[in-house]
């Protein structure tokens, strides 16, 4: 049976494809994203590169090759390609063929993560993911989940207030102000009440979240528990393997505490608590069907606003999702 939109297409935008420390100076990393196989490598000068995994000469997998300074070398005939894809050398000592060019994607590095730009019509990037800078904070640590899903679904969670109680057992969830769309950025603030058992403490506390969605593959969340002095930055990075499956990288960094030794311990606790919450969502994402015209209810949150925002990341050939407002949105 044909799946509903958006599972028929991959949205345009920036997506995490590797951690920066995965690319050593002579290490090749193979990945499948955007329904295509790629090889990632780093030049001797330190530039991260993402290119087609197959040599345009006679089709060898470049993941079996090696890095030679500023070039990647094919294992089959020794053709060497630059970071821009030009064939600059052959093992024959003759002029490289003009058509031997290696396709690649634009790449940037932010906060220890390598992001690649995907566009269904090969258009150039019109924006870049921001650095989520935070002086006095730890570096990010990550865990990754791979499952049947779609970036639009995972990002929609930050607008779906109604699921926080039934899925995550939060006692309260409410928006703080209205969601704001500014071009490719969606900003929203909300507050939840949750038990503190995730860090081994009794009672409950209010958690304030300030979420920013920069395309459907890159979301940041600034989370604070004022009464405990906990200040955390979260990364939510959904990367499409193909139109129906994703890698979801979840990152946490926290403000360093004044007590020696406590920061790394709490840091790990917070990462596993965060991933534990997402693990409650994954079984639903894996088995749910996308509903184009949902019967939204008062209390759902600004799902209609989110879907209007999300529609800009699909090429014009894709069917645009209808905008459906919940009753509380319509009243705003």
CATH code at position 57: 2.102.10.10
Q: Which residues pair with 40 in a beta bridge?
A: 29, 50
Do 64 and 146 have their domain in common? no
Q: Tell me, yes or no, whether 99 lies in a domain.
A: yes
Distance CA 239, CA 106 (A): 15
Q: Tell me, yes or no, whether 332 lies in a domain.
A: no
Looking at the chain, list the stretches that DSSP marks H as alpha helix, in order from N- to C-terminal side. 151-156, 164-168, 262-287, 303-310, 327-330
Q: What is the pLDDT of residue 323?
A: 37
Contact predicate 243/9, CB 8 Å: yes
Residue 160: give its domain's CATH number: 3.90.380.10
Q: Tell me, yes or no, whether 91 lies in a domain.
A: yes
Do 90 and 211 have their domain in common? no
Do 188 and 290 have their domain in common? yes
Do 154 and 258 have their domain in common? yes
Q: Tell me, yes or no, whether 205 lies in a domain.
A: yes
Q: What is the pLDDT of residue 169?
A: 83
C-alpha dihedral sign at 183, 277, 293, 304? negative
Q: Tell me, yes or no, whether 165 lies in a domain.
A: yes
Q: Which residues pair with 54 in a beta bridge?
A: 61
Do 207 and 284 have their domain in common? yes
Q: What is the pLDDT of residue 244?
A: 92
Write down which residue in 64, 85, 118 finishes a domain. Answer: 118
- How far is residue 57 from each of residues 89, 91, 206, measured CA to CA in Å? 12, 12, 59
Do 111 and 197 have their domain in common? no
Q: Tell me, yes or no, whether 133 lies in a domain.
A: no
Q: What is the pLDDT of residue 220?
A: 94
Residue 173 three-state SS: strand
Write down which residue in 71, 87, 118 finishes a domain. Answer: 118
Listed as own residue / partner, the contacts of 16-19 with beta carbons closer than 8 Å and 24 or more positions apart are 16/113, 16/114, 16/115, 16/217, 16/218, 16/237, 16/239, 16/247, 16/249, 17/50, 17/107, 17/114, 17/115, 17/116, 17/239, 18/113, 18/114, 19/112, 19/113, 19/114, 19/142
Number of domain units in the chain: 2
Do 150 and 84 have their domain in common? no
Q: What is the pLDDT of residue 328?
A: 41
Q: What is the pLDDT of residue 324?
A: 36
Q: What are the residue ranges in the chain where pLDDT is below 70?
A: 1-7, 196-202, 317-332
Domain that holds residue 182: 141-309
10 Å CB burial of residue 16 (0-12, 13-18, 19+) is buried
Q: What is the pLDDT of residue 319?
A: 41
Q: How far does CA 236 lie from the centroid of its chain? A: 5
Do 145 and 218 have their domain in common? yes
Preceding amide of 233 cis, omega within 30: no
Q: Tell me, yes or no, whether 236 lies in a domain.
A: yes
Task: Say what the alpha-carbon torsion angle 208, 187, 304, 169 is, to the nearest 10 degrees.
Answer: -20
Contact predicate 131/111, CB 8 Å: yes
Do 25 and 95 have their domain in common? yes
Contact predicate 129/114, CB 8 Å: no
Q: What is the pLDDT of residue 6?
A: 53
Do 171 and 236 have their domain in common? yes
Q: What is the pLDDT of residue 24?
A: 84
Distance CA 143, CA 120 (A): 28
Do 106 and 145 have their domain in common? no
Do 160 and 222 have their domain in common? yes
| Residue linked to tokens 């006679």 | 58
């Amino acid at each position: 049976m044909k799946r509903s939109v958006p599972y028929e297409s991959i949205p345009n935008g920036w997506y995490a494809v590797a951690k920066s420390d995965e690319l050593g100076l002579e290490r090749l990393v193979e990945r499948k994203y955007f329904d295509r196989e790629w090889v990632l490598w780093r030049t001797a000068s330190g530039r991260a590169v993402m290119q087609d995994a197959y040599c345009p000469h006679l089709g060898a997998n470049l993941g079996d090759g090696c890095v030679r300074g500023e070039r990647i070398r094919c294992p089959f005939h020794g053709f060497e390609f630059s970071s821009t894809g030009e064939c600059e050398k052959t093992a024959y000592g003759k002029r490289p063929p003009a058509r031997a060019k290696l396709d690649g994607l634009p790449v940037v590095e932010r906060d220890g993560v390598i992001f690649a730009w995907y566009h269904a019509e090969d258009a150039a990037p019109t924006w870049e993911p921001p650095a989520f800078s935070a002086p006095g904070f730890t570096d990010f640590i990550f865990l990754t989940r791979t499952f049947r899903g779609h970036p639009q679904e995972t990002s929609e969670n930050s607008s779906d207030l109604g699921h926080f109680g039934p899925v995550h057992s939060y006692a309260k969830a409410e928006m703080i102000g209205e969601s704001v769309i500014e071009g490719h950025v969606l900003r929203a603030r909300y507050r939840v009440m949750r038990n503190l058992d995730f860090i081994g403490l009794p009672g409950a506390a209010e958690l304030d979240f300030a979420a920013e969605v920069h395309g459907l593959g890159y979301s940041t969340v600034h989370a604070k528990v004022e009464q405990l002095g906990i200040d955390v930055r979260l990364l939510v990075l959904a990367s499409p393997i193909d139109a129906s499956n994703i890698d979801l990288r979840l990152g946490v960094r926290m403000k360093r505490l004044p007590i020696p030794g406590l920061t790394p311990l709490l840091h790990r606790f917070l990462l596993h608590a965060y991933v534990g919450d997402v693990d409650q969502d994954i079984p639903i994402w894996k088995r749910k069907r996308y509903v184009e015209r949902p019967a939204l209810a008062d209390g759902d949150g600004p799902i209609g606003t989110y879907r209007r925002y999300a529609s800009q990341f699909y090429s014009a050939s894709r069917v645009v999702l209808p905008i459906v407002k919940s009753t509380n949105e319509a009243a705003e």
